Amino acid sequence: MIWYLLKLVVLLPLIGGLAWGCLKLAQKAQGRLGVAPGAAKRVRVIETTLLSPTLKLAVIEFAGREVLVAASRNGLTRLAEAPAREVGE
C-alpha cells in the first residue's frame, strides 16, 4: 500500500508536467508556422443553422464577401455570395 501511494505521489505530478509541457510545445510550434493565437484571421464564420442531422447552412466572411455554404456529409457547396455587411447593419 505504501509503495502504491509513493508511486502515485511521484508519477502523478510527473505526468501532469509532461502534459503541460506538450501543450506549451504545441503552442510554440503553431507560432512558428504562422498560426499564432490572436492573429488576424481572413476567414470568419458569421452564422450557422442546422437544417437536419446531416445538413448545415453557414455564412462565411472571406475577402470582403459573405458566402452562403451548405455543409453535408458529401462536403461543402457554395449556394450564394454577397458583399460583406457593415458591423452596424
Looking at residue 47, what is its pLDDT? 92
**pTM tops 0.85:** no
Domain residues of the chain, as ranges? Answer: 1-38, 43-83
Coil vs helix vs strand at 59: strand
Looking at residue 37, what is its pLDDT? 58
Contact yes or no for 48/57 (Cβ under 8 A): yes
pLDDT range class, residue 27, cuts 50, 70, 90 = confident
Spatial neighbors of 27 by CB under 8 A, at least 6 apart, are: 37
